Chain A
Amino acid sequence: EAGVAQSPRYKIIEKRQSVAFWCNPISGHATLYWYQQILGQGPKLLIQFQNNGVVDDSQLPKDRFSAERLKGVDSTLKIQPAKLEDSAVYLCASSVAGGPYEQFFGPGTRLTVL
């Protein structure tokens, strides 16, 4: 079974530039999550999708971050404009459904904002 795919794996940008990350969840998984993991910290949920609807985006900085999950499969997370404090690993995860189920994480995208 293929795992959660993410791209790119690494990205370096200047502050105020924009960047986009892509995630392909495990086939059949209805729930998709985007997490931000700052170095030395635990992952923090940014947004949770159930199929193509948003379940929770309470911690998404909506003035600069946006995310979509078209057709309930792939998802993209965008930052525009980026700030220095956005430097982190962005993790995508998926699960069969929302609930106390295992979340399968992708390898993440390491973003460096200079």
Chain B
Amino acid sequence: QQQVKQSPQSLIVQKGGISIINCAYENTAFDYFPWYQQFPGKGPALLIAIRPDVSEKKEGRFTISFNKSAKQFSLHIMDSQPGDSATYFCAASRMDSSYKLIFGSGTRLLVRP
């Protein structure tokens, strides 16, 4: 119930294409869902986050789609660029657990020029 399942494990996209990464969770008490981006040798950095009271949030080329009934959420990267090549982690947390982040297993994205 504490798990966040992320797919795919790796993704290759051509420059200008759309990258889509999916996550699923079981615990309906989760109420905060961030996405983190990690470059090699660096710590993760927050990309975008969503609360379950909205179905979509967009920031620039990055969009989170959230399906509360299906307990799924996804990250869409529009017009993918080689600089987007990184590992992406979804996460979930809840208030009664001090908003401790439970991370997915990560998706390694490669954007080909």
Q: Could you tell me which A residues sit within 8 Å of B by CB distance?
A: 4, 40-45, 48, 55-56, 91, 93, 98-108
Contacts and interface: CB of A to CB of B under 8 A. Distances in A.
B43 A56 contact: no
A103 B51 CA distance: 16
B73 interface: no
A108 B98 contact: no
B53 to A, nearest CB: 12
B101 A56 contact: no
B106 A41 contact: yes
Contacts of B101: 43, 45, 103
Contacts of B106: 40-42
Nearest to B4: A42
B46 A107 contact: no
A100 B97 CA distance: 11
A102 to B, nearest CB: 5
**SS of A interface (majority):** loop
Given A42-B105, A43-B89, A100 B99 contact: yes
Contacts of A105: 42-45
Contacts, number: 57
B24 to A, nearest CB: 14
B80 interface: no
Interface in B27-51: 31-32, 34, 41-46, 49, 51
A98 B95 CA distance: 9
A106 B41 CA distance: 10
Given A93-B43, A107-B42, A108-B43, A42 B89 contact: yes
B91 interface: yes
Given A41-B106, A42-B105, A43-B103, A56 B46 contact: no
12 contacts: A4-B43, A42-B6, A42-B89, A42-B104, A42-B106, A43-B44, A48-B98, A56-B100, A93-B43, A100-B99, A105-B42, A105-B44
Nearest to A110: B41
Contacts of B34: 102
B93 interface: yes
